[in-house]
Amino acid sequence: MATSIPSISITFFLFASYQLVSLFLLFSLEKGYGLHDEKTRLNDYHTIQIRSLLPASVCNSSTNGHSKKATLKVVHKHGPCSHLSLDKANVPNVTQILSEDQSRVNLIHFRLSSDSAQNNILKSSKATLPVNSGASIGTSNFVVTVGLGTPKKDLTLVFDTGSDLTWTQCQPCLGSCYQQEEPIFNPNESTTYKNISCNSAECTQLTSDAGGVMKRCSNSSICIYGIGYADQSYSIGFFSKDTLTLTPTDVLPNFQFGCGQSNHGLFGGAAGLLGLGRNQLSVVSQTSSMYQKYFSYCLPSASSSTGHLTFGKGGPSSALKLNFTPFSRNSKNPSFYFVHITGIKVGGRKLSIAKSVFKNTTSIIDSGTVITRLPPAIYSALRTAFRRKMTNYPMTKGLPLLDTCYDLSNNKTVLIPKISFYFQGNVEVPIYPTGILFGHSISQVCLAFAGNSNASDVGVFGNNQQKTLEVAYDVAGGKLGLGTGGCS
Ligand SMILES: *[C@@H]1O[C@H](CO)[C@@H](O)[C@H](O)[C@H]1NC(C)=O
Ligand SMILES: *[C@@H]1O[C@H](CO)[C@@H](O)[C@H](O)[C@H]1NC(C)=O
Ligand SMILES: *[C@@H]1O[C@H](CO)[C@@H](O)[C@H](O)[C@H]1NC(C)=O
Ligand SMILES: *[C@@H]1O[C@H](CO)[C@@H](O)[C@H](O)[C@H]1NC(C)=O
Ligand SMILES: *[C@@H]1O[C@H](CO)[C@@H](O)[C@H](O)[C@H]1NC(C)=O
Ligand SMILES: *[C@@H]1O[C@H](CO)[C@@H](O)[C@H](O)[C@H]1NC(C)=O
Ligand SMILES: *[C@@H]1O[C@H](CO)[C@@H](O)[C@H](O)[C@H]1NC(C)=O
Ligand SMILES: *[C@@H]1O[C@H](CO)[C@@H](O)[C@H](O)[C@H]1NC(C)=O
């Protein structure tokens, strides 16, 4: 009884434009002031060592703050704390990271566009998968290691709040598997592995999912999923169940996941993806009776340190002061976590932008997008304010996406204006210094924010700006908690 994987053709959605610099100018009333004004103004600046902006080569893993709770260690895929050596041999450069980051944001915008709904369901034998960036999922992202099957096999997965389905490559790789660090999961070796049949309610979930997952039924009536990403990245295989082991005491039987038989992409040695989206297929939804749809994470400030991903309340975040902002309602895509940005402060002053401009803006918080995206008018005002406070440093040429770059090679320490974001509920979130500047060499360090090319596109609060924050997703409570000092 051979089961063949249906061929799902991936057609490419062409994104109109990579034009990133908006010409939309907004006249800010703000008056800049020099660094020399008053001593107290120093409170509005970070004094940073230049070398702290550059990648380190040694892992400085902290173990503090980890309680008995279901806590996993989060590491940067390419950093010295990651054991994915395959990936380390193939570290993308800044240009690649930024262009892959744009692919991911294009996908987010596509999924939120009106016609993307039609792509959820496999209507004909030929499906159109939206282009996403598997590459971006595989770039500059954070991974955790979980156990799958009985006896459990460790698998390192990219964690992603922007999608729901969890999948891993599976033997016998009927189609193809890309190279991964750990042995590829073999269902035969797990006594708890189960196929899901096509006419089951579990399989039906795939079609109602809005996260770009598609369903097919094989001849032998085994449920088949397909999920596509950009750059021809995809995973297609059996929708299955097995035991997921988060920690020795947190073992979840019958966890539904994709057992990928045909996988292609730049997942950089990771075994697959852990879906932490808001919709029903995600880990969050599947574990709701155990963790009440609550999880939190902290992304480390540098690739040489570690953060955490914790399921349930009472983890590291319980000891920190969190401020909560409501998730906004948005019916367009139930997988994403929508939040409302209400203001931005640069160097001690709020940008003077009409409230209505922020009001009209919907944004998501996303673990997989690197650079925060803002509507053109807001980005433009942020850039203007930032440049005014950085006049002591020579500007230099830009990078893809990033148009405000400085040559800091003459300075060992620099003063950069502090930046805070405000979320609905007057929640102020200070951005960590390495979340303000992004670069690969001290002669080209750039303001780490970008404008969307279309004012109606959703904003994205990206992972570069979430560093060291404790970010708590109280999905059941409909709110997002944000606090400082979640990790270092
Ligand atoms: C390692 O991390 C600790 C705590 O954050 C810090 O005090 C220490 O200086 C770090 N060591 C190195 C070598 O970076
Ligand atoms: C980055 O990598 C790409 C692909 O390998 C290469 O074409 C490009 O020249 C590199 N850019 C830099 C700045 O090294
Ligand atoms: C799993 O077991 C079946 C039946 O014994 C065998 O035909 C198949 O090749 C095995 N698959 C793998 C990936 O080991
Ligand atoms: C699951 O389905 C595949 C494909 O038909 C089959 O080879 C495998 O034996 C099945 N596994 C179980 C546990 O039923
Ligand atoms: C698929 O099902 C059809 C109709 O039941 C049958 O004729 C065909 O042989 C099956 N193909 C495979 C590969 O099992
Ligand atoms: C913003 O909202 C206001 C009031 O609802 C509306 O008049 C205006 O057209 C909106 N602007 C954009 C760019 O959507
Ligand atoms: C940074 O270096 C430039 C050029 O050497 C110098 O003019 C400037 O004063 C330095 N700035 C700081 C804050 O040290
Ligand atoms: C911006 O997006 C809106 C809604 O998706 C679309 O109607 C409009 O044509 C876009 N504008 C540009 C300049 O692409």
Ligand 6 close to Cβ of residue 356 (< 6 A): yes
Q: Which residue has the higher pLDDT, 439 or 402?
A: 402
Percentage of the residues of the chain whose pLDDT score is greater than 90: 49
The confidence band for 122, taking pLDDT boundaries of 50, 70 and 90, is very low
- pLDDT tens digits for 364-385? 999 989 999 999 999 999 999 9
- pLDDT tens digits for 421-477? 999 999 999 999 989 998 878 899 999 999 999 998 999 999 999 999 999 999 999
DSSP 37: S
Q: Where in the chain are all domains bearing CATH 2.40.70.10?
A: 61-310, 320-483
DSSP codes of every residue in 66-106:
--SSEEEEEEETTSTT---HHHHTTPPPHHHHHHHHHHHHH
Ligand 3 close to Cβ of residue 292 (< 6 A): no
CATH of 61-310, one of 1.10.10.10, 2.60.120.280, 3.20.20.370, 2.40.70.10: 2.40.70.10
Tokens encoding 146 = 């979980």
pLDDT value of position 208: 57
- Ligand 5 pocket at CB < 6 A: 2, 219
Q: 186-195, 232-241, 309-318: lowest mean pLDDT where?
A: 309-318
Atom number in ligand 5 closest to CA 1 = 14
- Longest Cα–Cα distance of the chain, Å, equals 79
Q: Which residue has the higher pLDDT, 62 or 459?
A: 459
Closest-lying ligand to the alpha carbon of 6? Answer: 5
Nearest CA to ligand 2 atom 8: 95
**Cβ contacts of residue 248 below 8 Å, gap of 6+?**
none
Distance of alpha carbon 111 from alpha carbon 296, whole angstroms: 25
Spell out the SS3 assignment of 267-334.
CCECCEEEECCCCCCCHHHHCHHHHCCEEEEECCCCCCCCEEEEECCCCHHHHCCCEEEECCCCCCCC
- Residue 14: pLDDT above 50? no
pLDDT value of position 204: 85
Spell out the SS3 assignment of 203-242.
HHHHHHCCCCEEEEECCCCEEEEEEECCCCCEEEEEEEEE
What is the mean pLDDT of the segment spanning 318-338? 87
pLDDT value of position 448: 96
Nearest CA to ligand 4 atom 9: 188
Question: How many Å lie between the centroid of ligand 7 and the Cα of residue 456?
Answer: 40
Atom number in ligand 1 closest to CA 58 = 13
Return the residue matching tokens 């395959």.
86
- Residue 405 exposure: Cα atoms within 13 Å on the Cβ side: 19
Ligand 1 close to Cβ of residue 59 (< 6 A): no
- The residues carrying an active-site annotation are 160, 366
pLDDT value of position 11: 26
Tokens encoding 354 = 């009409």
Atom number in ligand 4 closest to CA 240 = 1
- Residue 10: pLDDT above 50? no
- pLDDT tens digits for 74-120? 887 777 777 776 555 567 778 888 888 888 888 888 778 755 444 43
pLDDT value of position 174: 93
Residues facing 395 on adjacent strands: 406
**Cβ contacts of residue 318 below 8 Å, gap of 6+?**
none
Question: How many Å lie between the centroid of ligand 5 and the Cα of residue 191?
Answer: 28
Q: Which residue has the higher pLDDT, 431 or 217?
A: 431
Ligand 3 close to Cβ of residue 188 (< 6 A): yes
pLDDT value of position 116: 47
Question: How many Å lie between the centroid of ligand 5 and the Cα of residue 2?
Answer: 10
Percentage of the residues of the chain whose pLDDT score is greater than 70: 80
Question: How many Å lie between the centroid of ligand 1 and the Cα of residue 300?
Answer: 12
Based on the number of CB atoms within 10 Å of its own CB, is 63 exposed (0-12), middle (13-18) or buried (19 or more)? exposed
Superfamily for the 320-483 domain? Acid Proteases (2.40.70.10)
Residues facing 73 on adjacent strands: 308
Rg (CA), the chain: 22
Distance of alpha carbon 214 from alpha carbon 278, whole angstroms: 17
- Residue 356: pLDDT above 50? yes
pLDDT value of position 29: 26
Average pLDDT, the chain: 81
- Residue 128: pLDDT above 60? no
Distance of alpha carbon 195 from alpha carbon 223, whole angstroms: 8
Question: How many Å lie between the centroid of ligand 5 and the Cα of residue 128?
Answer: 25
**Residue 444 φ then ψ, to 5°:** -155, 85
Nearest CA to ligand 7 atom 8: 392
- Residue 217: pLDDT above 90? no
- pLDDT tens digits for 21-61? 222 222 222 233 344 444 447 889 999 888 887 777 777 77
For 228, other C-beta atoms within 10 Å of its C-beta total 28
Distance of alpha carbon 352 from alpha carbon 199, whole angstroms: 56
- Ligand 2 pocket at CB < 6 A: 93, 95-96
Question: How many Å lie between the centroid of ligand 3 and the Cα of residue 147?
Answer: 21
